[in-house]
């Protein structure tokens, strides 16, 4: 099986869909001739021409807004927002338009668009290259949100997103583009070529939107997480020796409630872990649901480990980032609670 | 160099407020027929003058004059007049419905009928309109079922939008009418995307985007024009300048000194400024722009100069912010009367037929209204089950759970 | 003491501040000559002139963006977004700019702006006149969010917001503008002139941002709520006879955690109640915090009653709105859980 | 009427890509001195021609000619040249720092120095600039401490922004330099608000807004121009058209056929298009616009025509998307050389002094860098405590709790 980085897997997903469906078009800032600042669309314009892969003005609202119009026409736009930190100018188009088109038009018009955007920190990118705004979208009825943590899922979810009849936001943890990252920024970077999840089948396959995966089985506590934090959780587990079950949610909306409930009922404890700021982060929804659904199985409160409620700082990145030490500390503390 | 004086803050004011005499001296009206008509492949730079004048076809005698006087089939003109009468009858009846408490909300297009109706007549089947809430003429000039429109307004059991959307925010794909958004300006860029798609696919369909003078201030006006400037898709940008945006006059949108049509120039998009109360001018300018788009010469922006005779909506009382007599004083007249006079001058129409048509439409709409009311008023007949549908194509687990819990 | 509607109280707050501080300016769509579509600024332009109260273009990003520039200059802008449903075009300016100005500039530039905006349903306003987007702001570090439920608080919180050195969003439950509303839409509307909370002192006073109030004392269950739902909760309590304690949060960020903990520790049960859609609504944060902080006092899971996860429908408003019947049903159900 | 042919999708292409010969035939360059200079109270409509030409003052001989040749004190010119040299030296040294791994990121303004520096020279103390990331000249032409700038770039213990912000996104209120946003375009409307405030207070301060050619596509470009159109505040809109936006050429921002300067016309805002590599033209046009603003005649938009000689940032490699030799072929030359030649022609300067100045600035910056490095590099020395401060004026309970938990 070919070995791919997450960037290659993402590119391959678009390639597979563009080859199979001539209605798939790809555009965004610098994605055309240059192939994207992270190179995710590299080579696609050459292969499919400027009619189907092109650069756009620096106007995120226009990227999403024009995609909506194209989708209404019958195309399947897959667009890139260069960094999730720049998605806010498109927020109105996503929330008021893409998310509601089907509902308000009696299903005459729909918006099967895919919005890819790099999220998360760990690249010393400061407040405008590090944000994780997923919960600002999970609150919006009418959009789906997914976030892969490895090349296999990245390709499968992106193909599923492009095929989905409704708008899907694909959050791409940029710190994972080239290799898994466990939060130990001071250690050498690893890359996907040495990782089993870098095995990516050729051609078409999908990862179902709405299904979580058990990244690591365990008995004592469930860690609900996604994106980069999957590896941080793994590191913390290895370093503390706590036998945690790590659930990689992959899809935030719809959410795989069954997988969550099953695991928490087994372990009796739950940590939710994400990079985004804590207050009203997606962890709040997870904690709320877990206590709603597993209350009588819980031996201790659901613990949230998340970004501090500050803008993403630059120099203090490794104090801010919820790394394995912090996660480990919280894990130990919660295992001591009775 | 002298001392600098304190700066002053400038807040533009309309020419009249309640109690004042209406003052329309700011509306410069060239003679009908006096504005040139360029070829459709003209570059934007060559027709900048057309953004500051006003294309007019009907003169005071009711004759069609000048280069924009097209050879329009009699039938089309008669249909145009009838559609305007029908629209006016519809608006009146819906106002009554609202006053009777059968719907919560309505918005009239009185005085602006020629624009949507004349424009629609110049488009082809398959050309998509991206309207605002004041282009009911786009539907009422077609065979779109009036009963469906009223059911939408009443949000009843036969509402095609299943009670999910506010009254008058229709959606009619079958009639090339995009779902109307309650959020201003957002549809402008959708129209661009739609036109880009047509070009990408190598089709021949065009799109037509609609916006009000006030709403040109919204940011998506810019996203639409920038993208149109880059990709030159087959789109027509319609700005309906009816002088008011709720209580704000056009100057609060920056449309006092420069015209709205001039906005296009900085984007290398040609623009026309047209008497929106002159049905013949509307048709001719629309046909010009549509032909231009369909022949691959790209976007056109048209400012339609008109006046919002009606209150903003049934929730609005314009006597609070503009001179009472302003609408009577509007110098471009009533589009219905003007086309009527033209048709009478051409001996295609008469006062009697006009009266007759008025009562025919009144009756048509009365009957349709009665039928629609039988399916429920003010939301009656809507199904709570529909509330959960169509959020996504398939009901996701969390919505299924919520619906089950509700027991529907 | 004068009796005021919420509209009058809001207007009076601006009047008091404009009279006291010439740096306070008020603007927004239709707020100048006309005095606002809800009349909240009626008469202010006449009193303070167009230099200080004026109409703006229909451009919400421009309203907030220009307010930020003015605030940097030294003014205290208090702006209106006509409906919260129209705040999304301004989202980038609020999130990326107003909220971060102090942080990223080493406190050289700050954005002491107040954004007033009507929220909530119950006026048959459909998807674009009914939304409650508060959790989209509580997730953002650097903005405060408050939501009064009565004329007294509305005036006091608005004055506090205008005086606050940081950006504050004042969500005004439009269904409460003229009178309290308990969700019984089919009963005659009541108005503030007959309600004790319609007693509004003249002149200057503040309600502290960050402090909740106990709307009704009770022993058996705590209802955490705000805005219109305070009265719905009261109705449900009266109709079920369940002795609930109703906490009117008033301020969502900062949140009065002490008041919440104290009440839940007393009652041992908790319902969170709001109009906004449930998933990632502010109720998620409340539920997460309550179970984190009061886990060992909880006799049953924290229950969320919230808007369904759909766009706000029009005709089905009273099916959608979490009215007293639904709240009562959920209250009874949770009291039966052991 | 003939059949319609399939529409074509238009995606504009630059005149050259890697491997091609650079082609700047699209840059129309009028003779220096040939463009008229209107009075500052001129209405926008009377100077539309100035948006499609290019105001230039220095001719090929290095002489200042024509109506825009102002009487600038020798001192000011010398300072301008020195500031440009200083800026260039700064940029070079910071690139080295980045290559040494002492900072993560840097952005040069090579080739564009005259614009920020010439403009700043035309402003007064108290006039606020709202810059992008490429106007370091606004600071480097003043007495703002270079060490502070470098500490910001190194995010070390003396970083005035306490490590919270990305390198080069300075903030310097004391030097009329607004905090730079990483989000493109947002500052344009801030500048308008600031200028509105000055007018509201009856002060005499003006503001100056900065944006790149690519970023004019952002929606807040429109919100800024609409508001400026309405309230006519004392603001200068600077568009730095350096032909590129990362890998996208100006045509992808709609700036291929119409000029960026022309965007202003639809808003009744006068605009100038100026040779941005001509220090004298920059100064003169800036002074004109500043005087216009301060005398109450409202906003001006200026398109500065220049070329981004440097890569977009240290993360960028322009050889991937544009001809290698493009920057050498840029027909407006190097602003430093051009001003140098002018000053030598005026016998105010010499090759020797130039060399000497170059090494002086090199040395100044070397020393400052050394000092700055002693306070830490790559974030070293920053305090985690600072992370929690300045989110709000007062630390709210939840942040106090988070900080306490972290133990700082
Ligand atoms: C984003 C947004 N902001 C504000 C509103 C409220 N609003 C509805 S209509 C209107 C005035 C629009 O005026 P104009 O564009 O001139 O259209 P007209 O009503 O005159 O046809 C306003 C401010 C809205 N619907 N959406
Ligand atoms: C809202 C937003 N979108 C995208 C970006 C990413 N980005 C940073 S600089 C840049 C190009 C800007 O080009 P231009 O405005 O021409 O300025 P220049 O770099 O040429 O000075 C882009 C796309 C951003 N910072 N913010
Ligand atoms: Mg209008
Ligand atoms: Mg550029």
| Catalytic annotation, pick one of C42, C129, C184, C274 | C129
| Residue of B109, B184, B247 best suited for mutating to test ligand 1, as the one with most atoms within 8 Å of CB | B184
Distance of CA C137 to CAs B223, C284, D105, D388, Å? 25, 14, 31, 19
> How many residues are given for chain A?
338
In this complex, is the C-beta atom of B392 within 8 Å of any C-beta atom belonging to chain D?
A: no
Q: Which residue of D has its CA nearest to A127?
A: D165
- B60 in helix, strand or coil? coil
| CB-defined site of ligand 1, < 6 Å | B 134, 182-184, 212-215, 240, 242, 244-246, 308, 312; C 29, 58, 82, 86, 89
* Inter-chain residue contact D190 with C97, CB threshold 8 Å: yes
Distance from CA of A319 to the nearest CA of B (A): 36
d(CA C74, CA C69): 9
Helix then strand count (H, E) for chain C reads: 12, 12
Q: Which residues of D touch A322 (CB under 8 A)?
A: none
At residue A1, the pLDDT reads 82
Ligand nearest to the CA of B247: 1
Share of chain A above pLDDT 70, in %: 100
Q: What average pLDDT score do residues A132-149 get?
A: 98
At residue A337, the pLDDT reads 81
Quote the ipTM score. Answer: 0.98
The answer, yes or no, to whether the previous bond of A181 is cis (omega within 30 of 0) is no
At residue C337, the pLDDT reads 81
Nearest CA to D210 among D247, D174, D170?
D170
Residue D14 Cα to ligand 4 midpoint, Å, equals 14
Q: Is the pLDDT assigned to residue B87 strictly greater than 60?
A: yes
- At A215, phi and psi to the nearest 5? -75, -35
Count of beta carbons in the 10 Å neighbourhood of residue B6:
11
* Inter-chain residue contact A61 with D383, CB threshold 8 Å: no
Q: Is the pLDDT assigned to residue A113 strictly greater than 70?
A: yes
**Is A246 within 8 Å of A215 (Cβ atoms)?**
yes
The answer, yes or no, to whether the previous bond of A254 is cis (omega within 30 of 0) is yes
- At B353, phi and psi to the nearest 5? -65, -35
Known active-site residue A129: yes
- At C252, phi and psi to the nearest 5? -95, -35
Structure tokens at A242: 């706590």
Nearest CA to D40 among D236, D278, D192?
D236
Cβ-nearest to B203 among D7, D204, D256? D7
Nearest CA to A111 among B174, B179, B200?
B179
Q: What average pLDDT score do residues D75-88 get?
A: 98
* Inter-chain residue contact A51 with B161, CB threshold 8 Å: no
* Inter-chain residue contact B179 with A104, CB threshold 8 Å: yes
Structure tokens at B110: 């009185």
At residue A51, the pLDDT reads 98
d(CA C193, CA C2): 9
Cβ-nearest to D186 among C97, C109, C144? C97
Q: What average pLDDT score do residues A268-274 get?
A: 98
Q: What average pLDDT score do residues B108-120 get?
A: 98
Q: Which residues of A touch C285 (CB under 8 A)?
A: 279-280, 284
Q: Which residues of A touch C89 (CB under 8 A)?
A: 92
Nearest CA to D64 among D352, D341, D405?
D341
Cβ-nearest to B247 among C33, C51, C315? C33
Counted across chains A and D, CB pairs separated by less than 8 A come out at 122
Q: What average pLDDT score do residues A132-148 get?
A: 98
- Per residue in B200-212, pLDDT (tens digit) is 999 999 999 999 9
d(CA A297, CA A293): 9
Query: Measured from the CA of A88, which atom of ligand 2 is nearest?
Result: 1
d(CA A304, CA A297): 18
Give the residue carrying structure tokens 């421009």.
C62
Residue B134 Cα to ligand 3 midpoint, Å, equals 10
Q: The dihedral of CA D283, D284, D290, D291: what is its sign? A: positive
Share of chain A above pLDDT 90, in %: 99
Query: pLDDT-based confidence at A62, cuts 50/70/90?
Result: very high
Starting at the edge strand found earlier in the chain, the sheet holding C213-216 runs C213-216, C244-248, C221-225, C270-277, C303-307
At residue C139, the pLDDT reads 98
Spatial CB neighbours of A137, under 8 Å, sequence gap ≥ 6? A94, A143, A145, A169, A253
Spatial CB neighbours of A86, under 8 Å, sequence gap ≥ 6? A60, A128, D183, D184
Query: Measured from the CA of B242, which atom of ligand 1 is nearest?
Result: 20
Distance from CA of A154 to the nearest CA of C (A): 24
- B174 in helix, strand or coil? helix
- Per residue in B312-356, pLDDT (tens digit) is 999 999 999 999 999 999 999 999 999 999 999 999 999 999 999
DSSP A49-89: -TTTEEE--S-HHHHHHHHHHHHHHT-EEEEE-SSGGG-GG
Q: What average pLDDT score do residues A39-67 get?
A: 98
Residue D214 Cα to ligand 2 midpoint, Å, equals 7
Distance from CA of A284 to the nearest CA of B (A): 16
DSSP A94-150: IIIIITTHHHHTTTSS----EEEEEE---SS-GGGS----THHHHTSTT-EEE--SS
Cβ-nearest to A69 among B183, B191, B396? B191
**Is D41 within 8 Å of D276 (Cβ atoms)?**
no
Q: What average pLDDT score do residues B264-271 get?
A: 98
- Per residue in B363-381, pLDDT (tens digit) is 999 999 999 999 999 999 9
Spatial CB neighbours of B357, under 8 Å, sequence gap ≥ 6? B81, B82, B85
Ligand nearest to the CA of B216: 1
Query: Measured from the CA of B245, which atom of ligand 1 is nearest?
Result: 13
Ligand nearest to the CA of C127: 1
pTM of the model: 0.98
Question: Residue of the nearest CA to atom 17 in ligand 1?
Answer: B212
Q: Which residues of A touch D403 (CB under 8 A)?
A: 308
At residue A322, the pLDDT reads 98
- At B300, phi and psi to the nearest 5? -135, 145
Q: Which residues of B touch C281 (CB under 8 A)?
A: none
Count of beta carbons in the 10 Å neighbourhood of residue A332:
13
Q: What average pLDDT score do residues A28-36 get?
A: 98
Residue D184 Cα to ligand 2 midpoint, Å, equals 6
Residues pairing with D240 in the sheet: D212, D304
Nearest CA to A56 among A32, A25, A74, A38?
A32
- Per residue in D260-315, pLDDT (tens digit) is 999 999 999 999 999 999 999 999 999 999 999 999 999 999 999 999 999 999 99
* Inter-chain residue contact D190 with C68, CB threshold 8 Å: yes
| CB-defined site of ligand 2, < 6 Å | A 29, 58, 82, 86, 89; D 134, 182-184, 212-215, 240, 242, 244-246, 308, 312
Q: Is the pLDDT assigned to residue D6 strictly greater than 80?
A: yes
Question: Residue of the nearest CA to atom 15 in ligand 2?
Answer: D212
How large is the greatest C-alpha to C-alpha distance in chain C, in angstroms? 62
d(CA D299, CA D362): 38
- Per residue in A168-227, pLDDT (tens digit) is 999 999 999 999 999 999 999 999 998 999 999 999 999 999 999 999 999 999 999 999
Structure tokens at D205: 């301060």
3-class SS letters over A261-304: HHHHHHHCCEEEEEEEECCCCHHHHHHHHHHHHHHHHCCCCCEE
* Inter-chain residue contact B173 with A103, CB threshold 8 Å: no
Q: Which residues of D touch C98 (CB under 8 A)?
A: none
- Per residue in B140-150, pLDDT (tens digit) is 999 999 999 99
Burial D274-299 (b: 16+ CB within 10 A, else e): bbbbbbbbbbbbbbbbbbbbbbbbbb
DSSP D206-246: -EEEEEETGGGGSHHHHHHHHHHHHH--SEEEEEEE-SEET
Per-residue pLDDT of chain C (338 residues; tens, 9 = 90+): 899 999 999 999 999 999 999 999 999 999 999 999 999 999 999 999 999 999 999 999 999 999 999 999 999 999 999 999 999 999 999 999 999 999 999 999 999 999 999 999 999 999 999 999 999 999 999 999 999 999 999 999 999 999 999 999 999 999 999 999 999 999 999 999 989 999 999 999 999 999 999 999 999 999 999 999 999 999 999 999 999 999 999 999 999 999 999 999 999 999 999 999 999 999 999 999 999 999 999 999 999 999 999 999 999 999 999 999 999 999 999 999 87
> How many residues are given for chain B?
408
Q: What average pLDDT score do residues D183-192 get?
A: 98
Q: Is the pLDDT assigned to residue B1 strictly greater than 90?
A: no
At residue B2, the pLDDT reads 62
- Per residue in A284-302, pLDDT (tens digit) is 999 999 999 999 999 999 9
Residue B180 Cα to ligand 1 midpoint, Å, equals 13
Rg (CA), chain D: 22
Query: pLDDT-based confidence at D394, cuts 50/70/90?
Result: very high
Distance of CA C294 to CAs A47, A53, C258, C274, C285, Å? 59, 54, 11, 21, 14
Residues lining ligand 4 (ion), CB within 5 A? D 212-214, 242, 245
Distance of CA D5 to CAs B128, B203, B293, Å? 19, 8, 12
> How many residues are given for chain C?
338
d(CA D143, CA D159): 17
Q: What average pLDDT score do residues D152-161 get?
A: 98
Cβ-nearest to B199 among D7, D220, D268? D7
Q: Is the pLDDT assigned to residue B169 strictly greater than 60?
A: yes
d(CA D58, CA D334): 12
At residue D2, the pLDDT reads 62
């Amino acid at each position: 099986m070919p070995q791919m980085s997450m960037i290659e897997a993402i590119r391959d997903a678009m390639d597979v869909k563009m080859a199979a469906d001539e209605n798939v078009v790809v555009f965004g800032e610098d994605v055309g001739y240059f192939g994207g600042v992270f190179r995710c669309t590299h080579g696609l314009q050459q292969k499919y021409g400027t009619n189907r892969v092109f650069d756009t003005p620096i106007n995120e609202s226009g990227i999403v807004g024009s995609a909506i119009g194209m989708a209404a026409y019958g195309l399947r736009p897959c667009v890139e927002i260069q960094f999730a930190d720049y998605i806010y100018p498109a927020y109105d188009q996503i929330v008021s338009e893409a998310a509601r088109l089907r509902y308000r038009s009696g299903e005459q018009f729909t918006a099967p668009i895919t919005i890819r955007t790099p999220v998360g920190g760990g690249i010393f990118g400061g407040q405008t290259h590090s944000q994780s705004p997923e919960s600002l979208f999970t609150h919006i009825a009418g959009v789906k949100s997914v976030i892969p943590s490895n090349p296999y899922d990245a390709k499968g979810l992106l193909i599923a997103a492009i095929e989905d009849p409704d708008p899907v936001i694909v959050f791409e943890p940029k710190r994972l583009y080239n290799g898994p990252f466990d939060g130990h920024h001071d250690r050498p970077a690893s890359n996907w070529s040495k990782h089993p999840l870098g095995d990516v089948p050729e051609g078409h396959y999908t990862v179902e939107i709405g299904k979580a995966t058990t990244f690591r089985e365990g008995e004592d506590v469930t860690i609900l997480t996604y994106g980069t934090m999957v590896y941080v959780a793994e590191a913390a587990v290895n370093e503390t020796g706590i036998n945690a079950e790590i659930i990689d949610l992959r899809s935030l909306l719809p959410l795989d409630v069954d997988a969550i409930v099953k695991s928490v009922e087994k372990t009796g404890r739950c940590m939710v872990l994400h990079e985004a700021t804590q207050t009203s982060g997606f962890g709040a929804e997870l904690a709320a649901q877990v206590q709603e659904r597993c209350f009588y199985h819980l031996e201790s409160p659901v613990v949230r480990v998340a970004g501090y409620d500050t803008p993403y700082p630059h120099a203090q990145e490794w104090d801010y980032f919820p790394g394995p030490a912090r996660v480990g500390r919280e894990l130990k503390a919660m295992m001591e609670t009775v | 160099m002298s001392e600098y004086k304190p700066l002053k803050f400038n807040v533009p004011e309309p020419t009249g407020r309640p109690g004042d005499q209406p003052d329309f001296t700011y509306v410069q009206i060239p003679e009908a027929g006096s504005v040139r008509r360029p070829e459709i492949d003209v570059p934007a730079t060559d027709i900048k003058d057309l953004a500051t004048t006003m294309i007019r076809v009907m003169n005071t005698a009711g004759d069609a004059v000048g280069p924009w006087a097209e050879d329009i089939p009699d039938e089309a003109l008669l249909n145009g007049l009838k559609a305007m009468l029908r629209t006016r009858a519809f608006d009146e009846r819906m106002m009554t419905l609202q006053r009777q408490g059968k719907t919560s909300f309505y918005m009239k297009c009185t005085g602006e009928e020629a624009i949507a109706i004349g424009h629609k007549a110049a488009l082809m089947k398959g050309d998509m309109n991206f309207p605002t809430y004041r282009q009911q003429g786009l539907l009422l000039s077609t065979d779109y079922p009036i009963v469906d429109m009223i059911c939408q307004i009443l949000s009843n059991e036969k509402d095609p939008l299943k009670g999910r959307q506010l009254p008058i925010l229709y959606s009619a794909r079958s009639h090339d009418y995009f779902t109307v958004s309650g959020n201003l300006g957002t549809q402008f860029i959708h129209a661009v995307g739609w036109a880009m798609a047509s070009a990408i696919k190598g089709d021949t369909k065009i799109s037509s985007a609609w916006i009000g003078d006030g709403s040109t201030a919204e940011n998506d006006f810019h996203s639409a024009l920038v993208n149109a400037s880059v990709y030159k898709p087959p789109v027509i940008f319609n700005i309906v300048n009816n002088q008011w945006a709720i209580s704000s006059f056009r100057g609060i949108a920056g449309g006092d000194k420069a015209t709205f049509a001039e906005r296009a120039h900085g984007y290398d998009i040609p623009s026309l400024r047209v008497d929106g109360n002159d049905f013949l001018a509307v048709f001719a300018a629309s046909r010009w722009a549509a032909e231009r788009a369909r022949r691959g010469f790209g976007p056109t922006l048209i400012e339609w100069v008109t006046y919002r005779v009606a209150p903003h909506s049934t929730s609005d009382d314009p006597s609070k912010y503009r001179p009472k007599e302003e609408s009577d004083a509007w110098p471009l007249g009533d589009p219905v009367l003007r086309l009527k006079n033209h048709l009478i001058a051409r001996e295609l129409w008469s006062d009697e037929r006009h009266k007759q048509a008025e009562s025919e439409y009144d009756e048509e709409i009365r009957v349709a209204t009665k039928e629609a009311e039988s399916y429920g008023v003010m939301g009656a007949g809507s199904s709570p089950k529909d509330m959960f549908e169509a959020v996504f194509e398939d009901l996701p687990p969390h919505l299924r759970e919520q619906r089950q819990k509700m027991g529907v």
